[in-house]
Copies of this chain bind each other. A is one copy, B any other.
């Protein structure tokens, strides 16, 4: 039975990363160039992937350069997170902005993760819609890039993502939990949280780190 995304709310990216590491899954944290637009927001949801290619010419007359990305957004279900792979980091394109965010919120989507740039940052922050991105810039994709496929396996900021994978983001970064491992990851991560609480308490009381680590085994 798949995990309900809100089971991840007590967790954080660091604990999830450590837990994935402990299972030998060491490539699940996106690279640090990925930053939240609003670092007070937690992003949790199941991925819906979109894959971009670079283009260097305006669209042909009558052609809709946004067709695949419109179809992806209109197909979003509640609790899903849009993951846009642009072979980033990039300086060239901002595939996400206010109108796409507005449409996604209307479908119940819970965030967007892209290794491209994002624009309309002020408005997106006011919406309190969680977005993690590879930078900020005003550049529309038209004539610069195009989403050519969706719901395929992509690499985003160094991590493989498939539609359906759990995505978690907070101020420490973005972590992807492969579907196959999600039950075990979430269970172990919840356990680890309580060990960390004990360590913190002991350290605040002034105990030596060596002693605390020997006893609780968490750093």
Interface residues of A (CB under 8 A from B): 12-14, 16-18, 21, 26, 29, 31-33, 35, 39, 51-57, 64, 66, 70-71, 73-74, 85, 87, 91, 94, 97-100, 102-103, 106, 117, 119-122, 135-140, 142-144, 148-149, 152-155, 158, 160, 170-173, 175, 196, 199-200, 203-204, 206, 208-210, 212-213, 218-219
A157–B154 Cα distance when bound, in Å, is 23
Please name 8 pairs of A and B residues whose Cβ atoms are closer than 8 Å in the assembled complex, sorted by A. A13-B138, A17-B139, A18-B140, A51-B54, A56-B160, A57-B153, A100-B209, A119-B173
> Quick check: B56 and A85 within 8 Å, CB to CB?
yes
Chain B residues whose CB sits within 8 angstroms of the CB of A32 once the complex forms: 91, 117, 135-137
In chain B, what residue has the closest Cβ to A53? B53
In chain B, what residue has the closest Cβ to A35? B136
A6 to chain B, nearest CB (A): 19
> Quick check: A16 and B143 within 8 Å, CB to CB?
no
Closest 10 CB pairs between A and B? A53-B53, A17-B138, A32-B135, A57-B153, A13-B138, A32-B137, A14-B138, A102-B203, A103-B209, A138-B172
> Quick check: B137 and A21 within 8 Å, CB to CB?
no
Say how many copies of this protein the assembly contains: 6
> Quick check: A172 and B120 within 8 Å, CB to CB?
yes
A144–B206 Cα distance when bound, in Å, is 29
> Quick check: B106 and A203 within 8 Å, CB to CB?
yes
A210 to chain B, nearest CB (A): 5
A10 to chain B, nearest CB (A): 14
In chain B, what residue has the closest Cβ to A17? B138
Indicate the member of A12, A158, A209 with the most B CB atoms within 10 Å. A209
Chain B residues whose CB sits within 8 angstroms of the CB of A200 once the complex forms: 98-99, 102
